[in-house]
Amino acid sequence: MAMRMDRKTFDMLLWIGLICWGFCGQKALGVESEKSLIHTSYPAYRFEAAEQWGLAGSGNIGNAKWDQKKWHLDFSENAAWLALRIPDFVLLGQVEKIHVRARGSAKGHPVHLFLRTHFMTFHKVIGEFAGTGEQDLVTDGPPGSGWQWFGGENDGKIHGPLRLAEIRVEGNGIQDHCDLEMIGISVDTACPPQKRCVLTASVKSVAEKPCFSAQIRALDDSPLSGKLVWTFRMWDGNVLDRGEKKITVPPKAKLLEVLTPVPQAPAGMKFIESEFALDIPEQEAPPALACWLAPHEPHGDARLEPDSPFGMGLYLCRYGGDAAGLAEMEKAAQLARDAGVKWSREDFSWSRIEPQKGKFNWTYHDNLVACAKRNGITVYGIVGSWASWTKPYSPEGIEEYAAFLKELVRHYGDDVRQWEIWNEPNIFFWQGPKEMYADLLIQSYAAIKEVDPDTEVLGLSTAGIDYKYIRQMLEKETPFDILTIHPYRKVLKDREFIEDLKKVSDLVKYSDEERRPVWLTEMGWSTNSPHNVLSQDFTPVTLRTQAELIARTYLCSIVSGVEPRTFWYDFRDDGYDPIYFEHCIGIMTRDFRPKPAYYAYSTLAKVLKGKPVWYPIETKSDTFAYGFKSEESGGEVIALWNSDREVKLSWPISVERVTCVNTVGESKVLIAQKGKIELELKKGAPLYLLLP
C-alpha cells in the first residue's frame, strides 16, 4: 500500500538520511571519531597562473575572459553559465568547510561549486558575489544540506578524497557584464593528530642533473620540526647510500621540498630507488619512494602482430584533435612501440563520430587508427557511451547504437577487427536495467555480423570476474566471440589468479566444449601516495611492486591458456596529483617519464618476442617456472618467479653460460658450475634465463 507524507516530513527524513549517508561513508573510509581529530585551515588555491585555471562556458560567452586573477564575465549574449576549471588535485584531510573569496560584484548570478570524489561529482549553490568589497562564500563540505550529486556510484557518499572541479557563475537570465578579482580558496579541514603530515616523492632534473625530490606538507597551525631520512637501493635491494636532514615543515600545508642528488649508478645498472621517511614526533606519515631509471633502449618495431598477447590501455582517444594533441598522441604511440606494445584498447565516441543522426565525422578516429598502425599497434574498439541525440537505455537507443556499429565496421574494415560492447555494464557504467545489456549485446552482435561475419564481438567486459553476472548473461543466450574481463584485485595471488582465468574460461565454453578466448581488457595497480585521512578504491603499491606486478600479470595470463590479450590500465598517468590513485595508475608519468613498470613490461615483451610456445617446468616447490620458445627459430627463455618469498635455487643447465635478466632488464652472464647455476629470486620479482 502506498503511503503519502507531507513536504515537511519528507524534508526532515531526507536530511536525516543525508547525515546518515555522510556518517556511514566516513566510517567506511576510516575517518577517526570527532573527539580524536584536530582542526585547521589552509589555503588550497590562490588563483595563480601555475595552478592552470581555465575558462569554460555554455552558450555565447561573448568577451568573457580570465587573466591573472581577473575574471570578466559576459552574460550580454545570454550565456547560460561561465566557469573556472582546474586540473584535479585532492584536498587534504577531511573537508569541513570551503571558503571562496573574491572582490567585485556579480549580483543576481548564483555561484555553483563542483567537487569530485572518484567518478562522482558533488554540486551546490553556495551564494552570490553581490557586494563590492572582499567577500567570502562559505559552505560545509559534502555530503550534507544543499549538496546534490551525479555520476559514478551516484549514492551521495564520499568515495575517497575530494577534488575541486569547477566554480561556476550562472547567467540566471540577466544580460550584463561583471568583473571579479578572485582572491583564493581555503579549506577548513580535520585529521587525526598523528596524520598531520603528507609525504610524497618524485624524480626531477635540476641544472640538468637528476635529483630525488621529497615533498612534505603539514596540516597544522604551527611549524613541525624533525628530520627527513632517506635510503638509496639497487634493484636487488642492496643499499647504495643513506642520509638524513633536519627539517622544519611550515604550517598550513605550505610545501617543503628537499632535493638529494641521485648517486652515480654502477655500470649496467638501470634502477636506483630512494625511500624517504619522516622522523617527526608523533607523526605517522607512510614512507614515499621515487625511482631513477637509466635511458630506455627501444626494441619495438612497426610490424603488426595481432597474435601477440602484449596489449596496453594506451587510450590514444584521450588526446586532443589539434596539432598539439596529435603530436602527443604520436609520442605516446612511439613510446609504446619502443616497449613492445602490440595492441591498444580505444574508445570510439559515438557522439564525436556521429554528432547528429546520420552525419559522420571520421577525421579524429581515422588519425588515431593510422597513428597506432604506423607504430605496429593493432587497435580494437569499444563503444561505451550513448550519442547525445539518442534516447539512452531504450529500445530506440539500442537500435540506433546497433546501426552505429554497422557504420563503424563498414568504415574501418580490416583496420579494426574487434569491437567491444560497452564498459563494465555490471556496475555503474551501465545506468539502465541490467537485463537490458543483454538486448544491447544481442542486437550489436547481429548488426556487426551482418556487415562482416569475421569481425569479432567482445562481450560482457565485467568489473572484476563477475561470475554471477556472466551466468545471467549466458542464461539470456547473449552471443559474443571473446569474453572480456577486468580482474582487478588488491593482492595478486598468482596460482589463484591463473585458476580464476581457467575457471571463467570454462564457464563461457561453447556447448560443444570449444573454448572462447578470454581477454583481460583492464587490470592494474596504482603507485599513488596514501591520503592522510581517506582511503581510495585502489590500495597503493610502490613503484618497484608495480613493476613486479605487471610482469607477473602478463606471465600468469599467458600461461593460463585462455588465449589472452592483456591490456594494463593504463599506459600514461591521467594527471599530476601524487595522491589521487587514478592519476598514478600508468606505467609512465604524466610528463612521459617511464616508471619501473614500463621497464618491466618492455623487458618481458623483449625476452618473449618471437617465442609463442610455452610449457611448465617442474620445480618441486612453490616457485613458478615456465619455458618459452619458438618452433622455427632457436633460443629459449625460462621465466622464474616466486610470489611469496625469497628463494635460492641451484638451477640445472645444459650449457656453459647463460644470460640472466632481472625484472627491469638488468642483465649478467652466469657461468655453470657442475651443470648448475646459482640463482636468488627476490619475492615477487621474475628472472629470465636466456638460453642459446
Residue spans of the chain under pLDDT 70: 1-35
CA dihedral 42, 47, 50, 55 (to 10 degrees): 140
Comparing CA positions, the residue from 547, 548, 560, 490 lying closest to residue 520 is 560
In a domain, 372, yes or no: yes
Instruction: Supply the CATH number for residue 139's domain.
Output: 2.60.120.260
In a domain, 391, yes or no: yes
In a domain, 231, yes or no: yes
Is residue 63 located within the same domain as residue 154? Answer: yes
Is residue 536 located within the same domain as residue 621? Answer: no
Is residue 369 located within the same domain as residue 386? Answer: yes
In the numeric block, which cell numbers belong to residue 31? 575517518
Opening angle at CA 344, ends 399 and 488, nearest 5:
85
Please say whether the beta carbons of 308 and 564 come within 8 A. no
Instruction: Supply the CATH number for residue 275's domain.
Output: 2.60.40.10
List the domain range (segments joined by +) for residue 590.
310-511+527-568+586-607
The tens digit of pLDDT for each residue in 22-68 reads 434 443 344 445 568 999 999 999 999 999 999 999 999 999 999 98
In the numeric block, which cell numbers belong to residue 236? 636487488
Please say whether the beta carbons of 357 and 389 come within 8 A. yes
Is residue 181 located within the same domain as residue 76? Answer: yes
Cα–Cα distance measured from residue 444 to residue 404, given in angstroms and rounded to the nearest whole number: 9
Cα–Cα distance measured from residue 661 to residue 656, given in angstroms and rounded to the nearest whole number: 17
In a domain, 201, yes or no: yes
The number of CA neighbours under 13 Å toward the Cβ of 335 is 24
Give one word for 602, left, alpha or beta, with left for phi > 0 and alpha for psi -120 to 50: alpha
Instruction: Supply the CATH number for residue 636's domain.
Output: 2.60.40.1180
Cis peptide bond prior to 295, omega within 30° of 0: no
Cα–Cα distance measured from residue 610 to residue 185, given in angstroms and rounded to the nearest whole number: 56
238, 265, 293 - which closes a domain: 293
Cis peptide bond prior to 570, omega within 30° of 0: yes
Longest dimension (CA), the chain: 90
Cα–Cα distance measured from residue 570 to residue 568, given in angstroms and rounded to the nearest whole number: 5
Q: Cell 543525508 maps to which residue?
A: 18
Please say whether the beta carbons of 22 and 144 come within 8 A. yes
Q: Cell 579541514 maps to which residue?
A: 189
Is residue 218 located within the same domain as residue 95? Answer: no
In the numeric block, which cell numbers belong to residue 283? 607523526
Give me the sheet containing 197-206, strands edge to edge. 197-206, 209-218, 256-261
Q: Say if strands 418-421 and 456-463 run parallel, antiparallel, or are unpaired.
A: parallel
Q: What is the pLDDT of residue 98?
A: 98
The tens digit of pLDDT for each residue in 60-93 reads 999 999 998 999 999 999 999 999 999 999 999 9
Is residue 497 located within the same domain as residue 590? Answer: yes
Is residue 498 located within the same domain as residue 375? Answer: yes
Is residue 25 located within the same domain as residue 142? Answer: yes
In a domain, 392, yes or no: yes
Cα-trace Rg, the chain: 27
Comparing CA positions, the residue from 273, 300, 241 lying closest to residue 596 is 273
The tens digit of pLDDT for each residue in 500-523 reads 999 999 999 998 889 999 999 999
List residues bridging with 58 in a β-sheet.
Answer: 81
Cis peptide bond prior to 143, omega within 30° of 0: yes
In a domain, 298, yes or no: no
How many structural domains compose the chain? Answer: 4
Is residue 283 located within the same domain as residue 332? Answer: no
Is residue 446 located within the same domain as residue 334? Answer: yes
Q: What is the pLDDT of residue 65?
A: 97
Please say whether the beta carbons of 413 and 339 come within 8 A. no
In a domain, 324, yes or no: yes
Give one word for 69, left, alpha or beta, with left for phi > 0 and alpha for psi -120 to 50: left
SS3 category, 88: coil
In a domain, 517, yes or no: no
Instruction: Supply the CATH number for residue 333's domain.
Output: 3.20.20.80
147, 165, 190 - which closes a domain: 190
In the numeric block, which cell numbers belong to residue 75? 552574460
In the numeric block, which cell numbers belong to residue 677? 647455476
Burial of 611 by CB count in 10 Å (0-12 exposed, 13-18 middle, 19+ buried)?
A: middle
Cα separation values, 111 from 126, 251, 296, 562, Å: 6, 30, 49, 54
227, 259, 293 - which closes a domain: 293
In the numeric block, which cell numbers belong to residue 653? 643447465
Give the distance from CA 676 to its chain's centroid: 43
Cα–Cα distance measured from residue 286 to residue 265, given in angstroms and rounded to the nearest whole number: 27
Is residue 648 located within the same domain as residue 551? Answer: no
Is residue 202 located within the same domain as residue 55? Answer: no
Q: What type of residue is 232?
A: F
List residues bridging with 239 in a β-sheet.
Answer: 233
Comparing CA positions, the residue from 252, 188, 259 lying closest to residue 221 is 252
Cα–Cα distance measured from residue 351 to residue 484, given in angstroms and rounded to the nearest whole number: 24
